[in-house]
């Protein structure tokens, strides 16, 4: 076991998968970094440093620095995947998934279904998402809820270095398209990472805390906030079961339902706005399948139904936080 | 600042629902000691004096002598010292009458969960039109007298929902929290095995290694059954009890028959009667040998076919004349007494249970009752009983003796005051007057009485008269 940051885990995992399988390749804007601006390959490894050193090892045929065109990146990745490669495409900002939505939504997600199961499209799209950087509405969004509603793709949201390794390895080896959501604020998170081959099958939630009063379901960046809230509440004698769902599609319904049947109370924390969100989806699923177990209406902790604000003060008011989660937990406990 | 307490209408006994203030024996503001008689209260049954349980005074006397108040109603405000009008008014506005069946009186019922005193008067209120509130929530708040001004609505723009109003009307939830709890996950942070929490717990209990075990749960998850399959088989388990009956799914569904009109009326009237009338039951057995012998003789001499039931109807009518307290109808707060005995006879016909009346049964001889009853039975079988055949009566005879029942309890047929349930004739070995033992025939009678009009002693006297007539039946042939 090594102590690694999530950013290092991503580079490390891509590197070992590229060494293992010559069909694995990577493409994206600036993933080599500043290529040609000073007359030669100035490889800085992308603005997120999630491809540092890959170009030096694998060269321009497998690490492709692309122009600023998300449609081109995703379209090329789709074609390469159909032709037998295992491309990893990087969207520097998930917000721009809109311009390549046809490639994802109408093509990548549909190939296997439209060709009677005879074709496969093993593409991994890494989407860097999330707010908290004062980066304004077009560079801060959590678009995973929209993508989760789309049949034909798997949606993965790692939160720890170990999970990042296990889930990214699984994603690269998966024969179906995977949308891999990486939160900007988590790149510096350090933790133990298992050595050697390590995969985590999709659709298995991780139990983060084990309490009996309230179930808190969270994903991505929100898991850490839920952990903080649960730890503070535990000091007050309130035990929260915290579940990191890891993949929003497929969803580990059993883990959520098992917990709610024990606690009878649910709080879902989600970074995307509330309407048609993963939080709304989970609340609906629990209301429908665990109605008899519920002791209080499910609560959601989400941003409001607005774009992400630019001002720091507004942005922090916009985002879920441990105090907001604690308030929601106390609300479901106060239900009469 | 005086401590104020309600002085409410007490509840003496299960049937007391209201009481009348006879007089106040202490004036407002007059201090009294413990044990001082404060007032006299009349109930349906008794008049009782109420003594002070503690020294104090009446800050305010609310109830007027001669007026009737329900159990739990506020009669006066007790104080431990002089109280200001403002204090008394504040107390009066928050007083909430205890449930009539609750803890108001000496009968201690389970305590009602404490309701928070509503901010406004508990009576129904009207909510201004400009309040943002859903229609159903408005109705609920108005019905329950809940102050919506104090509710922070959960809807758009603070709109108040039904759930908000419902929550505001409930006591706070039990508190959570206190000593710190541990919420650490036992397996640590990094997962290498995908198993349900229950499977993991079982594996820990039995020291089973889950790694590499194939899972049969969703998406290959190791579940409880997978772990249990790895356990060494326990000692031979007890054989599971076998089902002797076919599974429910194999049996034909119940036949659903809607009630016809008569059945619906019978159902409604009997339900009302059993719920509304305070029934009590008196039982007695009568020796029937003389009656049986007389009937055989009479049928022989008269060439008639008088049934045992005809004799019993006759006896029941004569007993009603003897014991007029049982010969009544009950109409609200009034009791109607009769100089004659119109006795209803319960007849189970194909059309349902009917109770036509044998009028002036006290004046009819058994054979006349028999003729009259035969006509009624024929009409019942044809479904041609008229309103006149059915209307009125003060008493019913219901006889199931022909089915061999020992006895039963009948439901009163309102507005009649009582009903007699007649069992079958049984042979009983009993001690005779001379001390010897012999077999005798006995019929069991149960008299159901409406306690609003008939007291136990009257019911008992009635049955005694009936028994005398049955055991010395010659009197039944006297005009």
Q: Judge whether B451 counts as a catalytic residue.
A: yes
On whether any CB of chain B is under 8 Å from the CB of A186, the answer is: no
CB distance B185–A209 less than 8 Å? yes
Least CA distance to B182: which residue of chain A? A234
Same domain, A284 and A140: no
**Confidence band of B214 (pLDDT split at 50, 70, 90):** confident
Average pLDDT value for residue range B26-45: 87
Number of independent structural domains in chain A:
2
Which of B173, B184, B194 is nearest residue A201 as measured by Cβ atoms?
Answer: B194
pLDDT number for residue B191: 74
pLDDT above 70 covers a percentage of chain B that reads 89
**A199 occurs within a structural domain:** no
**A131 occurs within a structural domain:** yes
Alpha-carbon distance B216 to nearest alpha carbon in chain A (angstroms): 14
On whether any CB of chain A is under 8 Å from the CB of B186, the answer is: yes
**pLDDT tens digits, one per residue of B107-161:** 434 444 444 444 444 556 788 888 899 989 999 998 888 888 889 898 888 899 9
**pLDDT tens digits, one per residue of B8-17:** 888 877 677 8
pLDDT number for residue B103: 39
CB distance A206–B191 less than 8 Å? yes
Check: CB of residue A154 under 8 Å from CB of residue A178. Answer: yes
pLDDT number for residue B188: 59
pLDDT of B46 above 80: no
Same domain, A224 and A311: yes
CB distance A230–B191 less than 8 Å? no
pLDDT of A69 above 70: yes
Same domain, A167 and A295: no
Chain B hits for A242, CB-CB cut-off 8 Å, are: 183
Alpha-carbon distance B358 to nearest alpha carbon in chain A (angstroms): 58
Check: CB of residue A278 under 8 Å from CB of residue A219. Answer: yes
**A180 occurs within a structural domain:** yes
pLDDT of B281 above 80: yes
Which of A192, A202, A211 is nearest residue B181 as measured by Cβ atoms?
Answer: A211
CB distance A336–B170 less than 8 Å? yes
Check: CB of residue A78 under 8 Å from CB of residue A107. Answer: yes
Chain B hits for A213, CB-CB cut-off 8 Å, are: 176
Chain A hits for B171, CB-CB cut-off 8 Å, are: 336
On whether any CB of chain B is under 8 Å from the CB of A194, the answer is: yes
On whether any CB of chain A is under 8 Å from the CB of B192, the answer is: yes
pLDDT number for residue B120: 42
Same domain, A178 and A260: no
**pLDDT tens digits, one per residue of A37-63:** 666 666 677 888 899 899 999 999 999
DSSP string for B421-479: EEEEEEEEEEE-TTS-EEEEEEEEEEEEEETTT--HHHHHHHHHHHHHHHHSGGGGG--
Alpha-carbon distance A180 to nearest alpha carbon in chain B (angstroms): 20
Chain A hits for B212, CB-CB cut-off 8 Å, are: none
Q: Which residue has the higher pLDDT, A205 or B255?
A: A205
pLDDT of B189 above 80: no
Query: What is the three-class DSSP state of B48?
Result: strand
pLDDT number for residue A10: 97
**A198 occurs within a structural domain:** no
Q: Which residue has the higher pLDDT, A238 or B177?
A: A238
Which of B171, B180, B220 is nearest residue A234 as measured by Cβ atoms?
Answer: B180
Least CA distance to A162: which residue of chain B? B190
pLDDT of B474 above 90: no
Which of B176, B183, B220 is nearest residue A333 as measured by Cβ atoms?
Answer: B176
Chain B hits for A334, CB-CB cut-off 8 Å, are: 172-173
ipTM of the complex in this document: 0.73
Which of A213, A252, A336 is nearest residue B176 as measured by Cβ atoms?
Answer: A213
Average pLDDT score, chain B: 83
Q: Which residue has the higher pLDDT, A85 or B171?
A: A85
pLDDT of B265 above 80: no
d(CA B471, CA A29): 114
Alpha-carbon distance A174 to nearest alpha carbon in chain B (angstroms): 14
Average pLDDT score, chain A: 94
Domains belonging to chain B, first-starting first, are 4-94 (2.40.50.100), 116-170 (4.10.320), 261-477 (3.30.559.10)
pLDDT of B239 above 80: no
Same domain, A113 and A33: yes
One of A139, A204, A213, A305 is an active-site residue; which one? A139
Same domain, A250 and A290: yes
Count of pairs with CB atoms under 8 A, one residue in A, one in B:
87
> Which structural domain, as residue segments, surrounds residue A251?
206-334
Same domain, A21 and A42: yes
**pLDDT tens digits, one per residue of A281-335:** 999 999 999 999 999 999 999 999 999 999 999 999 999 999 999 999 999 999 9
Which of A204, A234, A239 is nearest residue B194 as measured by Cβ atoms?
Answer: A204
Same domain, A238 and A300: yes
Which of A254, A258, A335 is nearest residue B173 as measured by Cβ atoms?
Answer: A335
pLDDT of B267 above 90: no
pLDDT of A125 above 50: yes
Same domain, A187 and A255: no
Any idea which of A5-19, A127-141, B91-105 has the lowest mean pLDDT?
B91-105
pLDDT of A239 above 90: yes
Interface test with A, best of B190, B218, B220 (most A CBs within 10 A): B190
Any idea which of A19-28, A79-88, B125-134, B170-179 has the lowest mean pLDDT?
B170-179
3-class secondary structure for chain A? Answer: CEEEEHHHHHHHHHHHHHHHCCCEEEEEECCCCCCCCCCCCCCCCCCCCCCCCHHHHHCCCCEEEECCCHHHHHHHHHHHHHCCCEEEEEECCHHHHHHHHHHHHHHHCCHHHHCCCCCCCCCEEEEEECCCCCCCCCCCCCCHHHHHCCCCCEEECCCCHHHHHHHHHHHHHCCCCEEEEEEHHHCCCEEEECCCCCCCCCCCCEEEECCCCEEEEECCHHHHHHHHHHHHHHHCCCCEEEEECCEEECCCHHHHHHHHHHHCCEEEECCCCCCCCHHHHHHHHHHHHCHHHCCCCCEEECCCCCCCCCCHHHHHHHCCCHHHHHHHHHHHHHCC
pLDDT number for residue A159: 97
Average pLDDT value for residue range B339-360: 87
Alpha-carbon distance A205 to nearest alpha carbon in chain B (angstroms): 9
pLDDT of B97 above 80: no
On whether any CB of chain B is under 8 Å from the CB of A274, the answer is: no
Chain A hits for B198, CB-CB cut-off 8 Å, are: 258
Burial of residue A16, with CB atoms counted within 10 A of its CB: 0-12 exposed, 13-18 middle, 19 or more buried: middle
d(CA B399, CA B417): 18
Q: Which residue has the higher pLDDT, A51 or B176?
A: A51
pLDDT number for residue B106: 40
Give per-residue burial for A280-319: e unless 16+ CB within 10 Å, then b: bbbbebbeeebeebbebebbbbbbeeeebbeeeeebeebb
pLDDT number for residue B124: 62
**A132 occurs within a structural domain:** yes
Read off the CATH number of the domain in which A146 is found.
3.40.50.970
CB distance A254–B182 less than 8 Å? no
**A200 occurs within a structural domain:** no
Provide the chain A residues 225-244 that lie in CB contact (below 8 A) with chain B: 230-231, 233-242
**A201 occurs within a structural domain:** no
Provide the chain A residues 278-317 that lie in CB contact (below 8 A) with chain B: 297
Final residue before a domain boundary, out of A193, A218, A251? A193
Interface test with A, best of B177, B184, B188 (most A CBs within 10 A): B177
**pLDDT tens digits, one per residue of B439-463:** 999 999 999 999 999 999 999 999 9
pLDDT number for residue B244: 54
Which of A194, A203, A230 is nearest residue B219 as measured by Cβ atoms?
Answer: A203
On whether any CB of chain A is under 8 Å from the CB of B110, the answer is: no
Average pLDDT value for residue range B400-408: 88
CB distance B176–A336 less than 8 Å? no
Q: Which of A47-56, A136-145, B165-174 has the highest mean pLDDT?
A: A136-145
CB distance A235–B180 less than 8 Å? yes
pLDDT number for residue B247: 53
pLDDT of B68 above 80: yes
Read off the CATH number of the domain in which A301 is found.
3.40.50.920
Chain A hits for B182, CB-CB cut-off 8 Å, are: 234, 239
Chain A hits for B180, CB-CB cut-off 8 Å, are: 234-237
Same domain, A38 and A115: yes
Chain A hits for B172, CB-CB cut-off 8 Å, are: 334, 336
Same domain, A247 and A298: yes
**pLDDT tens digits, one per residue of A102-112:** 999 999 999 99
Rounded to 10 degrees, the C-alpha dihedral B175/B179/B185/B189 comes to: 110
First and final CA of chain B: distance in angstroms? 79
Same domain, A180 and A216: no
pLDDT number for residue B208: 85
**A299 occurs within a structural domain:** yes
**pLDDT tens digits, one per residue of A251-266:** 999 999 999 999 999 9
CB distance A250–B219 less than 8 Å? yes
């Amino acid at each position: 076991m090594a102590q690694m940051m999530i950013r290092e885990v991503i580079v490390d995992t891509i590197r070992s998968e590229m060494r293992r399988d010559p069909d694995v390749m990577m493409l994206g804007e600036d993933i080599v970094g500043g290529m040609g601006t000073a007359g030669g390959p100035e490889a800085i490894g992308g603005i997120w440093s999630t491809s540092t050193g890959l170009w030096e090892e694998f060269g321009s045929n497998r690490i492709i620095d692309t122009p600023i065109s998300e449609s081109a990146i995703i379209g090329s990745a789709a074609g390469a995947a159909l032709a037998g490669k295992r491309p990893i495409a990087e969207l520097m900002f998930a917000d721009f998934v809109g311009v390549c939505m046809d490639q994802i939504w109408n093509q990548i997600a549909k190939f296997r279904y439209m060709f009677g199961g005879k074709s496969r499209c093993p593409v991994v799209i890494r989407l860097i998402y999330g707010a908290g950087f004062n980066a304004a509405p077009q560079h801060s969004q959590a678009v995973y809820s929209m993508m989760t509603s789309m049949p034909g793709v798997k949606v993965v949201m790692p939160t720890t270095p170990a999970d990042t390794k296990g889930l990214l390895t699984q994603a690269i080896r998966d024969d179906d398209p995977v949308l891999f959501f990486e939160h900007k604020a988590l790149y510096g998170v350090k933790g133990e990472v298992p050595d050697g081959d390590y995969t985590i099958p999709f659709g298995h939630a991780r139990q983060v805390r084990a309490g009996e009063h309230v179930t808190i379901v969270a994903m991505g960046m929100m898991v850490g906030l839920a952990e903080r809230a649960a730890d503070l509440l535990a000091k007050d004698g309130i035990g929260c079961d915290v579940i990191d769902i890891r993949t929003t599609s497929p969803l580990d319904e059993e883990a959520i339902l098992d917990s709610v049947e024990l606690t009878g109370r649910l709080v879902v924390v989600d970074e995307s706005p509330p309407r048609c969100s993963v939080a709304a989806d989970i609340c609906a699923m629990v209301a429908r399948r665990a109605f008899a177990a519920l002791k209080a209406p499910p609560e959601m902790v989400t941003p409001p139904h607005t774009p992400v604000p630019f001002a720091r003060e507004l942005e922090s008011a916009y985002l879920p936080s441990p105090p907001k989660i604690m308030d929601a937990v106390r609300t479901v406990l106060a239900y009469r | 600042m005086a401590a104020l307490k309600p002085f409410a209408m007490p509840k003496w006994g299960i049937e007391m629902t209201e009481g009348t203030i006879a007089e106040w024996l202490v004036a407002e503001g007059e201090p009294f000691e413990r044990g001082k008689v404060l007032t006299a209260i009349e109930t349906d049954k008794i008049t009782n004096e109420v003594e002070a349980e503690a020294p104090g005074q009446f800050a305010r006397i609310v109830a007027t002598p001669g007026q009737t108040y329900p159990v739990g109603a506020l009669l006066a405000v007790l104080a431990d010292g002089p109280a200001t009008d403002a204090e008394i008014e504040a107390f009066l506005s928050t007083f909430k009458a205890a449930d009539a069946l609750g803890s108001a009186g000496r009968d201690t019922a389970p305590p009602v969960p404490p309701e928070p005193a509503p901010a406004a008067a508990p009576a129904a209120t009207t909510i201004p039109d400009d309040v943002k509130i859903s229609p159903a929530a408005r109705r609920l708040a108005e019905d329950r007298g809940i102050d919506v001004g104090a509710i922070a609505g959960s809807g758009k723009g603070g709109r108040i929902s039904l759930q908000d109003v419902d929550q505001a009307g409930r006591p706070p939830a039990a508190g959570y929290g206190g000593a710190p709890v541990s919420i650490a996950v036992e397996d640590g942070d990094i997962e290498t095995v995908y198993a349900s929490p229950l499977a993991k717990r079982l594996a820990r209990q039995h020291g089973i290694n889950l790694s590499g075990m194939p899972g049969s749960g969703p998406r290959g998850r190791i579940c409880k059954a997978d772990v249990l399959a790895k356990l060494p088989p326990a000692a031979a388990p007890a054989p599971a009890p076998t089902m002797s009956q076919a599974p429910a799914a194999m049996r034909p569904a119940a036949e659903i028959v809607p009630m016809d009109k008569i059945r619906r009326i019978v159902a409604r009237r009997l339900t009302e009667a059993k719920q509304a009338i305070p029934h009590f039951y008196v039982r007695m057995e009568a020796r029937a040998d003389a009656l049986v012998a007389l009937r055989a003789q009479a049928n022989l001499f008269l060439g008639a076919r008088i049934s045992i039931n005809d004799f019993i109807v006759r006896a029941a009518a004569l007993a009603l004349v003897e014991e007029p307290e049982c010969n009544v109808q009950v109409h609200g707060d009034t009791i109607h007494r009769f100089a004659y005995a119109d006795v209803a006879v319960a007849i189970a016909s194909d059309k349902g249970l009917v109770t036509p009346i044998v009028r002036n049964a006290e004046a009819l001889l058994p054979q006349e009752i028999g003729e009259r009853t035969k006509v009624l039975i024929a009409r019942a079988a044809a479904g041609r009983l008229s309103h006149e055949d059915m209307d009125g009566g003060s008493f019913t005879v219901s006889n199931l003796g022909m089915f061999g029942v020992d006895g039963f309890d009948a439901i009163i047929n309102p507005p009649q005051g009582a009903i007699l349930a007649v069992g079958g004739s049984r042979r009983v070995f009993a001690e005779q007057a001379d001390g010897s033992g012999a077999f005798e025939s006995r019929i069991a009678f149960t008299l159901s009485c409406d306690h609003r009009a008939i007291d136990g002693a009257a019911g008992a006297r009635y049955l005694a008269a009936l028994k005398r007539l049955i055991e010395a039946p010659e009197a039944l042939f006297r005009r």
